[in-house]
Amino acid sequence: MSRQITKMKNRSGLAPGTLLHIGSQKTTDTDISSFNYNLDVLQETALNSEKDIMPFFSSDTVSWINITGLHDVELFSKLGDLLKIHPLILEDILDTSQKPKMDIYEKHLFILLKMISWDNIAKSIKFEQVSFLIFDNCLISFQEIKGDVFDKVRQRLRNKNSRIRRLGVDYLLYSLLDAIVDNYFLLLFNLGEEIENMEDSLINTPEKDILANIYSTKRDILALRKSTWHLRPVITNLYQDDFKIITPEVSRFLKDLQDNTSQVIDTIETYRENISGLVDIHLSNTNNRMNQIMKVLTIFAAIFIPLTFVAGVYGMNFKYMPELSQKWAYTVWWLVSILITASMLIFFKKKKWL
């Protein structure tokens, strides 16, 4: 939520298409790295400036250019001019409060989505925005901060016999999307464990109030759901629409990816049901604890209040109370008291309160 708010505060009133980086302002430099490959050749270089990108477009190899760091607005402005990118796209790349979407332009596709990771310390989800510009033989990816989920893709690129080296830019796109969705499963795993932990503590340490915890997890689930929900139509469009860039062979893989995305959504829905079950169990626990407390109170009161009365009777100072002077009276009194107590205990035993 906080990012949208930041956006609104910063953007409000700017001309549309004005470039403005919205997100955490990292001081690290902008990194540009490139993979340039076909079945035979693999060239892995770090680029110095946006101008170094241009040669890749005229080459007949496939190129993946990865740009990390979004704060250098100047660079993106020049890049936009070089590649003739629409200002609205640049605006979206820099504004990290966007929801997943795909825009189709004449010369390229634009895809924007969320890379998700689990912050083990804060026990909550971290979102990072990733966007892709897909040209005929070139894919440019944009990330906010260093560290991503693409290392396995890079390893496969370096392996000469891998499918990725044989196929074109569309399979590269699929591999990157696949790496991101794979990571969603990792997140589901963490969320699932979190839910199981909460279930356990509901049963084992019922006194602790874990409702706030439950709702924070619920909010994480909803955020993940929103992100995945918007991702699904993007992937569907990719393999259903008739893009020149997507070959039928890769289309199959994208359909498979779509199935995975659906599975993420299914699991999220299941988690939501589980969470609302936890809330019900919590409510029921609270009520049961109340019942427990009231039973203790009632048992104490029901046993000792009559006894206190009986003791009170013989504490009265009436002149003429014949029982008081009998020798056996005190013993009898105790017997009666014990009888009352016993019958009370049997009564509560029968009611299954003990």
- Using CB under 8 A, which residues numbered 186 to 225 contact a second copy? 186, 188-189, 192, 203, 207, 209, 211-212, 215, 218-219, 222
Phi-psi region of 84 (alpha: psi -120 to 50; beta: other; left: phi over 0): left
The CB-of-326 to a second copy minimum distance in angstroms stands at: 8
The CB-of-48 to a second copy minimum distance in angstroms stands at: 30
- Could you give the count of Cα atoms lying within 13 Å of 171 in the half-sphere of its Cβ? 18
Q: Which is nearer to a second copy, 302 or 345 (CB)?
A: 302
Strands (E), the chain: 31-37, 42-47, 62-68, 101-104, 109-119, 124-134, 138-143
Q: Which of 186, 13, 41 is closest to 116 using CA atoms?
A: 186
The correct pick among 67, 140, 179, 231 for binding a second copy (CB under 8 A) is 179
The correct pick among 58, 122, 319, 350 for binding a second copy (CB under 8 A) is 319
Q: Which is nearer to a second copy, 20 or 88 (CB)?
A: 88
The correct pick among 19, 42, 145, 329 for binding a second copy (CB under 8 A) is 329
Distances (CA, A) of 268 to 71, 116, 125, 272: 33, 14, 14, 6
Q: Which is nearer to a second copy, 50 or 258 (CB)?
A: 258
Q: Which is nearer to a second copy, 50 or 95 (CB)?
A: 95
Q: 237 φ, ψ to 5°?
A: -60, -40
Q: 150 φ, ψ to 5°?
A: -95, 5
Q: Which is nearer to a second copy, 30 or 262 (CB)?
A: 262
Q: What is the CA radius of gyration of the chain?
A: 34
The rounded distance, in Å, linking the Cα atoms of 205 and 342 is 33
Q: Is 122 in the site for a second copy (CB under 8 A)?
A: no
x-marked contacts with a second copy along 141-170 as a string, rule CB under 8 A: ----------xx---x-----xxx------
Q: Is 321 in the site for a second copy (CB under 8 A)?
A: yes
Q: Are strands 62-68 and 101-104 parallel, antiparallel or unpaired?
A: unpaired
Q: Which is nearer to a second copy, 6 or 30 (CB)?
A: 6
Window 260-289: residues binding a second copy (CB under 8 A): 262-263, 266-267, 270, 273-274, 277, 279-284, 286-289
Window 70-109: residues binding a second copy (CB under 8 A): 86, 88, 91-92, 97-99, 101, 103
The answer to whether the CB of 85 falls within 8 A of the CB of 91 is: no
The answer to whether the CB of 137 falls within 8 A of the CB of 60 is: yes
Q: Is 293 in the site for a second copy (CB under 8 A)?
A: yes
Q: Which is nearer to a second copy, 47 or 265 (CB)?
A: 265
The rounded distance, in Å, linking the Cα atoms of 19 and 31 is 19
